[in-house]
Amino acid sequence: MRKILIVSDTHGSLTSWQRLKSLVGQVDEVYHLGDVLYHGPRNPIPDGYNPAELARELRRENLFLVRGNCDADVDLMLLGISEAPKVLLASFGQVNFVMSHGDFFQSEEQLFTFLEEHGAHVLLYAHTHVPRFDWIQSRLIINSGSPSLPKMGSEPTFVLMEINEVVKISLISLTGKLLREALL
């Protein structure tokens, strides 16, 4: 079984990363949907803010990064990454995914159009710090939320994929509670 972690908006919180890793254990790949190290000028400093140590821990992972609006060149340098795209396409099993931080999405229509334009079955995005897991016209739109700075009363969250014959994708809180799940 292949195990893939999808996370976003950690904003330098080593504490939330360590809590998340204690829940999921070893993973084959980590897809970070942006806003990795810096807390950003509009956000409070999260609990356990230690961007340098978080960068060291993430360098030990098989990390794929989609650049977020708070990710600067120095962040990429600390992570050992030379470039990070704003959009990433990937296939898991027979399912096509498109990933973006999502800071440029302004409407629901724009989200769905973006998904269709990239020929994907699933859109993974972030930026709002509010988790989402919605089926729209047989396509899945997922916002991984934030394990560090959840907003609008939401829980700290992340996404876990397990791939065997099918792709199981789960939205999970930092308490370990399964919030939503789909088999693809």
pLDDT tens digits, 148-179: 999 999 999 999 999 998 999 999 999 999 99
- pLDDT digit string (tens) for 75-134? 999 999 999 999 999 999 889 999 999 999 999 999 999 999 999 999 999 999 999 999
Rounded distance between C-alpha atoms, residue 159 and residue 172, angstroms: 6
**Helix H or strand E encompassing 65:** strand 63-65
pLDDT of residue 41: 85
Answer for the pair 17, 50: CB distance below 8 angstroms, yes or no.
no
Tokens 């060291």 appear where?
Answer: 56
Cβ neighbours of residue 152 under 8 Å, at least 6 residues apart?
Answer: 129, 130
Give the confidence band of 42 by pLDDT, cuts at 50, 70, 90. confident
Q: Domain spans of the chain?
A: 2-183
- Does the structure show a pLDDT above 90 at 12? yes
| Local confidence band at 39 (pLDDT 50, 70, 90 cut-offs) | confident
Share of the chain above pLDDT 90, in %: 92
**pLDDT for res 119:** 94
How confident is the model at residue 93, as a pLDDT? 85
| Model confidence at 36: pLDDT above 90 | yes
Whole-angstrom CA distances from 6 to 42, 79, 174 are: 23, 17, 13
What's the predicted TM-score (pTM) here? 0.96
Cβ-proximal residues to 170 (8 Å cutoff; 6+ apart), any chain? 159, 160, 161, 162, 178, 179, 180, 181
Q: How many CA atoms lie within 13 A of 1 on its CB side?
A: 12
CATH architecture of the region 2-183: 4-Layer Sandwich (3.60)
Q: Which of 113, 32, 141 is nearest to 78 (CA)?
A: 32
